[in-house]
Amino acid sequence: SSVLEIKDLHVSVETEQGAKPILKGVDLTIKQGETHAIMGPNGSGKSTLAYAIAGHPRYEVTGGSILLDGEEVLEMGVDERAQAGMFLAMQYPVEIPGVTNANFLRTAKTAIDGEAPAIRTWMKDVKEAMGNLRMDESFAARNVNEGFSGGEKKRNEILQLELLKPKFAVLDETDSGLDVDALKVVSEGVNRAKQNTGLGVLLITHYTRILRYIQPDFVHVFVNGRVAEEGGPELANRLEEEGYDRFLESA
C-alpha cells in the first residue's frame, strides 16, 4: 500500500508584487485508504496546498518535499504526477473548449495507463460511472465543463476520479455550491472509489457538511499556511460548534 508524505512544505505564489509566501511548513502523511480532511478559513492556503501537490506553475515550492512511496513528487512534471497516481479535483474546474468529455477521459486514461483502454469495456465503464453519478449520457459529447453548472462540474470531476482510478485524490471544496442531493451523489462517488480502489483522500473543505457523507479518519485545521491542530473526526464536530475564531485569534 502507498503513502504520500508532505514534509515541511513551503510554497509562494506569484503575484504582481512578486512572490508571496503562503504555505509556511506543512507536514501531512496520508496512507492509501485513509481520508484526511483539511479544514480552514478562507485564505488559509488550502487551495495553494492542492495546487502545489498538482504542480501548478504559479505556485513555487521554496522548501520541503512531497514524497509518494519515497519518490520526490516535486521533481515530476504534471503528467508524471498523474501517472504516479495523483489526482486533483479543482475548486474551480476549468472549461476546455473544443474537447469533448469522452475524448478528454479517454486521452487522460491512455496517458495515465500508458496504453489505450479496450474500447468495449471502456465504453461500458464510462456509461456506468455516468449513471452512478446521475449524469445524462449527453454529457459525454459535450465539451469539458463548457456551460456546465457548478454542480455538474463537480460531478464531472468525480467522474474523472472514478474512471482514472488514482492512488491519492486531492478534492478541493468539492462540496461548494452543491445542494444536498448533488452532495450525496458526489460523496457516494468518492466513497465508491475508496471502497473499490483503496483511494487515499485529502478532502479540503471550509464546511463540515460533507464530512457527514465522507467520513474522515483524521482532521487537520489549517490556519495561516500551517496545520494549527490535528485530531480525529470529533475535531470536525468541535469546529462546527466553535468555528475558526479560536485558531484565528491565536495565529
Looking up cell 464530512 gives 211
Q: Which is nearer to ligand ADP, 13 or 30 (CB)?
A: 13
Q: E strands along the chain, which residues?
A: 3-15, 18-31, 35-39, 59-68, 71-72, 86-89, 96-100, 143-144, 168-172, 200-205, 218-223, 226-231
Whether the Cβ atoms of residue 12 and residue 22 lie closer than 8 Å to each other: yes
Q: Tell me whether residue 58 or residue 124 sits nearer to ligand ADP (CB atom).
A: 58
Shortest CB 83 distance to ligand ADP, Å? 26
Applying CB under 5 A, does 48 fall inside the site for Mg ion? no
**Nearest residue by C-beta to Mg ion?**
47
Which window, 7-15, 35-43, 54-62, 231-239, contacts Mg ion (CB under 5 A)?
35-43
DSSP, residue by residue, 71-120: EEGGGS-HHHHHHTTEEEE-SSPPPEEEEEHHHHHHHHHHHHHSSPPPHH
User: Can residue 208 be called a binding residue for Mg ion (CB under 5 A)?
Assistant: no
Minimum CB separation from Mg ion for residue 49, in Å? Answer: 9
The entry of Mg ion, ligand ADP, none near residue 101 (CB within 5 to 8 angstroms by kind) is none
CB of 46 to ligand ADP, least distance (A): 3
| Positions 70 through 109 that interact with Mg ion (CB under 5 A) | 91
Is 47 a residue that touches Mg ion (CB under 5 A)? yes
CA angle 75, 206, 53 (to 5 degrees): 5
Binding positions for Mg ion, rule: CB under 5 A: 42, 46-47, 91
